[in-house]
């Protein structure tokens, strides 16, 4: 049997939620990844060090006994974030970044930043403390076509942020377009990007293949084939500015399969398998380890993991749902056959 063994990977962008959903989804992430950057878009958002430490305890308490996993916490940047909170975060070993959500851009982003220029003093503080800024890079202008919102953000906001704060470490989260890829490639080594499995594997036809398919709906929305090809090219290129961030974003099936379904794909059940599929199709399985296990740790200035994981070329069928009667979550590729399986 064909197998692939790589250094244990990390997920540099994941939503694990809280309560019953946390219990249902966390074992999937903890099985595959040594560490993960935990997104702070809860209700209410995780906006202070005290809230992040309490959330970290909730995550650790939800871990199955004996499973080693390190949650790397982030804070939600709001117009009300204080310089004092940034200082406290910088001094806390468990806080690794701040997340910028343009207000209204995505799930639970209503407390995000409405006018990005007004938080420039906060960016200056992040730069001073060498605390990474993670960016949801989409404009929220409803006049802007949803497929153009990332490009518009790169042009109007990202370029200005990077020019004004050259020493600020910035991660363009879930990059989905040629324009975002080109921006990150040509920026300094302080600018990196995460890429999701769905944006490597699917183009926007998947949303409307024979009917409307809510489980492929996430934000930023999946784009045209030309963008997918640009993402595959850069993810498999060995460029250390691009690394794994699943953006696994579980929602109850009942909240996805409805008239106004939530944005987010749950991919934690098969994250590495999905990436392996994308890298194999590109003839670049030998580049998976750098993308999944090495470059992100280097960017965050954390040590690389020492353990390994092994994937086998082995067909299996993704279940139709995970969870139980109370919490039922439809995974990405539900009911489909995958070609790789983590052992």
Q: Which of helix, strand or coil describes residue 323?
A: strand
Q: Which is nearer to ligand NCD, 6 or 105 (CB)?
A: 105
Residue in 11, 247, 286, 324 annotated catalytic: 247
Please state, in angstroms and rounded to a whole number, the distance separating the CA atoms of residues 161 and 333: 36
For 5, 36, 231, 300, 325, the CA distances from 290, given in Å and listed in that order, are 12, 16, 15, 14, 39
Least distance between ligand NCD and beta carbon 41 (Å): 5
247 a catalytic residue: yes
Whether the CB-CB separation of 138 and 220 falls below 8 Å is answered with yes
Please state, in angstroms and rounded to a whole number, the distance separating the CA atoms of residues 91 and 200: 36
Q: Could you say whether residue 138 binds Zn ion (CB under 5 A)?
A: no
Footprint of ligand NCD on 92-111 (CB under 6 A): 106-107
Please select the residue that binds ligand NCD; options are 11, 150, 247, 277, rule is CB under 6 A: 247
For 41, 133, 135, 159, 213, the CA distances from 103, given in Å and listed in that order, are 12, 16, 12, 19, 26
Please state, in angstroms and rounded to a whole number, the distance separating the CA atoms of residues 117 and 123: 10
Contacted entry of ligand NCD, Zn ion, none for residue 248, CB cut-off 5 to 8 Å set by kind: none
Q: Could you say whether residue 74 binds ligand NCD (CB under 6 A)?
A: no
Q: Could you say whether residue 40 binds ligand NCD (CB under 6 A)?
A: no
Footprint of ligand NCD on 255-284 (CB under 6 A): 263-264
Please state, in angstroms and rounded to a whole number, the distance separating the CA atoms of residues 175 and 187: 14
CA nearest 298: which of 12, 6, 1? 12
Q: Which of helix, strand or coil describes residue 242?
A: strand
Q: Could you say whether residue 179 binds ligand NCD (CB under 6 A)?
A: no
Contacted entry of ligand NCD, Zn ion, none for residue 106, CB cut-off 5 to 8 Å set by kind: ligand NCD
Footprint of ligand NCD on 118-177 (CB under 6 A): 136
Please select the residue that binds Zn ion; options are 11, 127, 150, 247, rule is CB under 5 A: 247
Please state, in angstroms and rounded to a whole number, the distance separating the CA atoms of residues 183 and 230: 12
Contacted entry of Zn ion, ligand NCD, none for residue 41, CB cut-off 5 to 8 Å set by kind: ligand NCD
**Residue 116 has what DSSP assignment?**
G
Please state, in angstroms and rounded to a whole number, the distance separating the CA atoms of residues 12 and 29: 11
CB atoms within 10 A of CB 281: 14
Footprint of Zn ion on 80-119 (CB under 5 A): none
Q: Could you say whether residue 249 binds ligand NCD (CB under 6 A)?
A: yes
How many residues bind to ligand NCD according to rule CB under 6 A?
11
Q: Which is nearer to ligand NCD, 136 or 149 (CB)?
A: 136
Please select the residue that binds ligand NCD; options are 4, 6, 7, 15, rule is CB under 6 A: 15
Q: Could you say whether residue 273 binds Zn ion (CB under 5 A)?
A: no
Spatial CB neighbours of 138, under 8 Å, sequence gap ≥ 6? 102, 105, 106, 149, 150, 152, 153, 219, 220
Region from 96-104, 146-154, 240-248, 304-312 binding Zn ion, contact rule CB under 5 A: 240-248
Q: Which is nearer to ligand NCD, 14 or 187 (CB)?
A: 14
Give the binding site for Zn ion (CB under 5 A). 247
Please identify every residue annotated as catalytic.
Answer: 247
């Amino acid at each position: 049997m064909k197998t692939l063994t790589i250094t244990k990977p990390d997920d540099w962008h994941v939503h694990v939620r809280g309560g019953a959903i946390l219990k249902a989804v966390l074992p999937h992430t903890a099985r595959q990844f040594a560490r993960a950057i935990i997104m702070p878009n809860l209700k209410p958002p995780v906006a202070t060090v005290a809230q992040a430490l309490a959330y970290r305890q909730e995550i650790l308490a939800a871990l199955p006994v004996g499973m080693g996993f390190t949650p790397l916490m982030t804070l939600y940047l709001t117009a009300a974030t204080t310089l004092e909170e940034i200082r406290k975060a910088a001094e806390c070993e468990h806080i690794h970044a701040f997340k910028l959500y343009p207000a209204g851009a995505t799930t639970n982003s209503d407390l995000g930043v409405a006018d990005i220029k007004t938080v420039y003093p906060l960016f200056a503080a992040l730069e001073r403390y060498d605390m990474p800024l993670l960016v949801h890079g989409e404009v929220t202008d409803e006049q802007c076509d949803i497929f153009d919102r990332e490009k518009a953000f790169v042009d109007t906001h990202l370029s200005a942020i990077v020019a004004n704060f050259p020493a600020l470490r910035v991660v363009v989260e879930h990059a989905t377009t040629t324009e975002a890829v080109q921006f990150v490639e040509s920026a300094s080594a302080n600018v990196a990007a995460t890429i999701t499995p769905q944006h490597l594997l699917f183009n926007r036809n998947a949303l409307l293949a024979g009917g409307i398919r809510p489980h492929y709906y996430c934000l930023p929305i999946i784009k045209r084939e030309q963008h997918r090809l640009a993402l595959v090219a850069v993810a498999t290129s060995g460029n250390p500015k691009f690394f794994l961030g699943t953006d696994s974003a579980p929602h109850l099936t009942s909240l996805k399969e409805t008239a106004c379904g939530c944005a987010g794909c749950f991919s934690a059940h098969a994250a590495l398998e999905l990436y392996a599929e994308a890298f194999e199709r590109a003839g670049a399985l030998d580049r998976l380890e750098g993308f999944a296990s090495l470059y992100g740790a280097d960017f965050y200035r954390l040590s690389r993991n020492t353990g390994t994981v092994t994937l086998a070329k082995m067909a299996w069928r993704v279940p139709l749902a995970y969870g139980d009667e109370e919490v039922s979550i439809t995974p990405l590729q539900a009911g489909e056959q995958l070609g790789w399986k983590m052992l």
